[in-house]
Structure 1
Amino acid sequence: MTTPGSGPTVGLIAPGKIGLPFAANLIADGYTVWGYRRGSMADFEALGGKAAGSAKEIAERVDVIYTCVTSADALDTVISGEQGLLTAGRSDVLVVDIGAMALSRKEAARDVLAANGITMLDAPVSGTPPMVAERRAVVFASGDETQFERVRPALAALGSIVYTGAFGSGSKMKFVANTLVAVHTAVAAEAIALAKAMDLDLQQVIDRIKPSAAASTMFNVRAPMMAENRFRPVKGTVAGMVDVMDAIKATAAEAGATMPLLSATLKICEEACAQGYGEEDIASIISVLGAESIKAVTKGIETAGTAG
């Protein structure tokens, strides 16, 4: 067993749903982890983490900082705000962002840091909090390869690691993966809703589809939950998926890509949030497929699908 505090010292900004299990694994691996977020740090300290009073203090104490914020605006504040990283006046720290946001915003943050002599890596995590806790998430790391190798051992506390190359390619890869997760989940919900409407034996449907070419990982994982209207334990929240899909749509628009299926899935998830399912598992979107707002959103798609 690794002795606590026997390894390197790192910083973690915004230890939340993903950051907390990441911190727990780092601490178990012997790292000393300094953390900062607005609000109580009691859960972080209970893991053995050390609470700092600001992002500036984190930058003063450590050489490698992991950021896990939920929005680009939050990342901007962490970097450039009052008591932000830059106010520490250091140029010898490495920033590793493991969150997801529109790529142009993350690139802008990288450029601000670079102007102050600080390197940033893009290393978004694909996975849920339980997957991180069990080290089964996937990290799509990108940016300076030498600096990536420096933090590879720490990133392994999240799960498996894929180095994708130039800065931003990690986010792009995550967006491709999450597009599949989101749309496959929506299709699974629609299929189970159809089976329910036709009064089929849902267990038989699941048993027959799982080994077939029609199955997907999302169907295999979430169809049983949908069939039973059982949305806990939460593998990934609807609200969290909305955040990621917003980032995907923004980046897709910048790239000139159209996303009709993702857009429809986003509307379904937004309706689920409006109906109180935001913190439930994504499987809960099956509960809103009959909503009038969803019928209106999908009418154009259905019309296009039957044209000709």
Structure 2
Amino acid sequence: MAKLAFLGLGVMGFPMAGHLAAKGHQVVVWNRTAAKAEAWVAKHGGRPAATAREAAEGADFVMACVGNDDDLRQVCLGPDGAFAGMAKGAIFVDHTTVSAAVTRELHGIAAGQGIGFVDAPVSGGQAGAENGVLSIMCGGSDTDYAAAEPVMAAFARVCRLLGESGAGQLAKMMNQICIAGLMQGLSEAMAFGQKAGLDGEKVVEVISQGAAGSWQMANRHKTMLADQFDFGFAVDWMRKDLAICLATADEIGARLPVTALVDQFYKDVQLMGGGRNDTSSLIRRLK
């Protein structure tokens, strides 16, 4: 069993850290809002820390799941950042969805201090985190990944090394690009069926078993038909992720016309007051 630090106890990080504790790892947690760290310790044991640096001291692995590029820099760098408390040979595992640019920047800083760094964004949402069945896309060295993979197995359905530093984040961008297009198509189909007077659930029972089937269809069609969106992965976070995708596309010369369009549709949902709604709330625009 390893000595671990977990930084960031939001809807994803809280259950992910809980799975690590359940596997018998020694876990120290830190969260910007201390009350969340205290609540986690009350439920899972372990110990809270006052700073990211304190959490990282003595840890074999420091794992993070925070908000964005700036949040990640803040928890890694500076006198109270995790890197300041990590010993040579320790490995930082970042589960945040951020840009490949900040990943490579922090990987370089970590390497200069003798610290390993694996970018390991996840897919599967809150339910996947709670049930320990996330898909994890990783970038980094073979050695660092091989050391970290058995630890990540505590909450993974599948975990793969896809290339050098930043590869995990690029793969996560592909994931979000797929979701954006799929969700718009599903929204249009569900709204079309309602306008046509069909029973959406009965139709999905049939078409979900054919070529149109998807995770989004299986897991979101009922709540979409019921106009329920107060759960899941928020539109605000999806737009943050899509902004990363679109910026990266500009950098590498890729074309994302559908993704750019769906991003604007999500902006419409935000303007309707649905920024905290699940991404399936795209259908609201069509009703």
Whether the TM-score (by the shorter chain) exceeds 0.5 is: yes
What residue is the counterpart of 2:53 in the other structure?
56
Displacement of 1:185 in angstroms is 0.9
Residue 132 of structure 1 pairs with residue 96 of structure 2:
no
What residue is the counterpart of 2:6 in the other structure?
12
Q: 1:12 to 1:182 in 2, by over 3 A?
A: same
CA displacement 1:8-33 (0-9 Å, x = unmatched):
21011112111111111011100111
What residue is the counterpart of 1:293 in the other structure?
none
CA displacement 1:114-165 (0-9 Å, x = unmatched):
2222221111111112212212111112211112111212101121212213
Which SS does the other structure have where 2:28 is aligned? strand
CA displacement 1:13-60 (0-9 Å, x = unmatched):
112111111111011100111111211222221222311111111232
Q: 1:203 to 1:129 in 2, by over 3 A?
A: closer
What residue is the counterpart of 1:196 in the other structure?
194
Give the alignment partner of residue 240 of structure 2, picking from 240, 243, 253: 243
d(CA) in 2 for partners of 1:161, 1:120:
16
What residue is the counterpart of 2:228 in the other structure?
230
| Structure showing greater Rg | 1
Which SS does the other structure have where 1:105 is aligned? helix
d(CA) in 1 for partners of 2:86, 2:276:
39
CA displacement 1:167-203 (0-9 Å, x = unmatched):
2222222221221122101110011112222333323
d(CA) in 1 for partners of 2:206, 2:89:
57
- 1:102–1:250 CA contact under 8 A, matched in 2: no
TM-score, normalised with respect to structure 2: 0.91
How is 1:135-174 mapped onto 2 (pairs within 5 angstroms)? 135-159=132-156, 160-174=158-172
Which SS does the other structure have where 1:140 is aligned? strand
Q: Which moved more, 1:143-152 or 1:235-244?
A: 235-244
Displacement of 1:67 in angstroms is 1.4
Q: 1:273 to 1:42 in 2, by over 3 A?
A: farther
d(CA) in 2 for partners of 1:72, 1:128:
20
Which SS does the other structure have where 1:61 is aligned? coil
Identity %: 26
d(CA) in 2 for partners of 1:72, 1:82:
18
Give the alignment partner of residue 43 of structure 1, picking from 16, 24, 39: 39
d(CA) in 2 for partners of 1:130, 1:205:
25
d(CA) in 1 for partners of 2:78, 2:13:
21
Give the alignment partner of residue 69 of structure 1, picking from 23, 43, 66: 66
- 2:118–2:140 CA contact under 8 A, matched in 1: yes
Number of equivalent positions: 283
- 2:48–2:55 CA contact under 8 A, matched in 1: no
CA displacement 1:89-108 (0-9 Å, x = unmatched):
74332111111111112111
Q: Which amino acid aligns with 1:36?
A: W
In angstroms, what is the RMSD of aligned CA positions? 1.9
- 1:268–1:289 CA contact under 8 A, matched in 2: no
What residue is the counterpart of 2:185 in the other structure?
187
Q: Which amino acid aligns with 1:44?
A: W
- 1:32–1:49 CA contact under 8 A, matched in 2: yes
How is 1:266-305 mapped onto 2 (pairs within 5 angstroms)? 266-289=263-286
Q: Which amino acid aligns with 1:242?
A: R
Which SS does the other structure have where 1:12 is aligned? strand
- 1:59–1:93 CA contact under 8 A, matched in 2: no
Displacement of 1:240 in angstroms is 2.6
Which SS does the other structure have where 1:156 is aligned? helix
d(CA) in 2 for partners of 1:176, 1:11:
29
Q: Which amino acid aligns with 1:106?
A: T
Gaps of 5+ in 2: none
Which SS does the other structure have where 1:157 is aligned? helix
Residue 33 of structure 1 pairs with residue 27 of structure 2:
yes
Give the alignment partner of residue 80 of structure 1, picking from 52, 55, 77: 77
TM-score, normalised with respect to structure 1: 0.85
Which SS does the other structure have where 1:280 is aligned? coil
- 1:206–1:224 CA contact under 8 A, matched in 2: no
